[in-house]
Each structure stands twice: as structure tokens, then as C-alpha cells.
Amino acid sequence: MESRIARKLRLRYAPVALTWSETRPEKAAEFKEGKWGCVMWMVARAARGGTAVCGRKTFGCFGGGVGLGFGEVYKQFPGGEDGFCHFLSIGNDQWETGRQMAENVKPHMTEDSFDHFMHGERYMKSPGQVKRFIRGLPITDIPAPFVVFKPLAEVDEEAAGQVVIFFADPDQLSALVILANYGRETNENVIIPYAAGCQTIGIYPYREAESDLPRAVVGLTDISARTAIRQQLGDHLMTFAVPMKMFKEMEANVAGSFLERRVWEKLAAEKPDGHAPDQT
């Protein structure tokens, strides 16, 4: 499926189609079962021209399992959900069960990940706040064993999937926000929830897809995810995830819009002409 939006924006990287699948694609990149990894690595691979897949046992990290729609995966975290609540906030050295878990998990973690486990990522102030955060997430269990990431251009229109993900710089993000609101009767059709990078391209767009007027979701405000994909895609990019129905609406609105006028053309003129696929 080709994208008029991508051409007009002169994106550096290809738009990515997120698709639920009953089968694992051949020659797709995938995490090994039980091995840590960031889901955003897989999205970045697709943006560079490759194919990647995550399954119910190969989602890389617990937040990734939740983010892609594999259910309440936080309960599988060492120490259960409470262990995760301490990990995201003050650390597992602050309660007895967490301290007892430390020796069990240490051999399976890098130095950095063990430091986060013990002393906390400190993204929230308290374990109780994290618990409320989890209760507010649109956690879902998708009706498929795999989530596949491919360049949008390699996906048939009739089987294009659930979500289209753009990697956009500030100018391109601004244009996407304008286009998301261009044909709507309201002007709040884009959201920026506090969530993991994978959750803003997965479960949040999934939820929006159920609405009569779905909204787009801006992501990569997760600084851990930003660190994870810096080597793949560089800095200064955000994600803009659009449920498929909304993507088609935005595509139909390109003709006659500001994307064909001088202000945008002046901004776009200084950008490289399209993306360069790279499957390494």
C-alpha cells in the first residue's frame, strides 16, 4: 500500500504497518523466547525496510507484551505486578519480596537492567501510582498469536492491518497533527498519553480503532524507548500511530490540503527525498 502522506511529508523512514497474524512470517526478525529486547527495535527495523514479528513468548519485555496486546503480562514480572510497580517507581530494594527476588533475577539481567530492578526507573513517584497507571491502561488480549511489523508499501491494501506508524521529525509531526484534524468537526483528534513507546503504537491505537472517530496517538515520549532506538533511527523523531480507518481518512484528505500549498512545500523542500530502506 502506497501512502500519499508519506510522499508529501518526505519521510526519512517508511511508514510501518502493524498487523495481527495467525502465522509467523518467514525470515522475519524476532526476539528469542525469554530474551529481553525493546519492541521499538522491531518497529525501527520495519521502518528501515525489514520485517519483524513478536509473539506471545517473544515480545522482548513485559511492557512490550502489554503494549502489543498480549494481555496482562505485568503479572509475569518477577515479584508479580507488585514487583513491576516497584520497578517503575522506587525500586525493589524497598520491599522484602523484591529484595528476596534479587538473587534469583540477577543472573538473567544486564548490569543496567538489574540496577533498574533494584533502584527503580523512577518514572512514577510510588508503587501505588504505578498500580493506578496499570488500571488505566487499555490492556487487551488480541485475537492472534503474532504482531507483525512491515513497511506499509509491502502490505496489500485489503490486508493492511490495524495501525500505521509514522516516524516524524517536528515539522512532519506538525503536519500530521494538522491533517488529523483537517476534515473533523473538532480539533482534539490527537492524543499524547503517558505510556511506554510500544503502548503508544499498540494498545492505545487499538482502543481508538473501536471509536466512531478514532484519534491518532503520538509516542516516543518514553525516554527508555528513545535510548533503545537511537542507533537505529537517530534522534529528533516521534511516532505518530494511526488506526487504519483514520489513516485512510487522512490519505483521502491530502488532495487540496495544506500539503499542496507553499508553507508546507517550503518546509519540505529542505528534507531528503524519501527514505532509504535498510534491512540490516
Q: What is the pLDDT along the chain (280 residues), one digit of tens a residue?
A: 899 999 999 999 999 999 999 999 999 999 999 888 999 999 999 999 999 999 999 999 999 999 999 999 999 999 999 999 999 999 999 988 989 888 888 887 788 888 998 999 999 999 999 999 999 999 999 999 999 999 999 998 776 689 999 999 999 999 999 999 999 999 999 999 999 999 999 999 999 999 999 999 999 999 999 999 999 999 999 999 999 999 999 999 999 999 999 999 999 987 776 544 444 3
Half-sphere exposure of 178 (CA within 13 A, CB side): 14
The CA–CA distances, whole Å, from 47 to 112, 154, 254 equal: 27, 11, 22
Per-residue pLDDT at 276: 42
In the prediction, which pLDDT does 156 show? 85
The answer to whether 207 and 140 have CB atoms below 8 angstroms apart is yes
Q: Which three cell numbers stand for residue 39?
A: 519492541
> Which secondary-structure segment (H or E) carries 178?
helix 170-182
Amino acid in position 183:
G
Burial of 162 (0-12, 13-18, 19+ CB in 10 A): buried
pLDDT of residue 279: 40
Cell, residue 77: 514480572
Helix axes 80-88, 127-136, angle to 10 degrees: 110
The confidence score (pLDDT) of residue 212 equals 95
Instruction: Write down the pLDDT at residue 108.
Output: 78
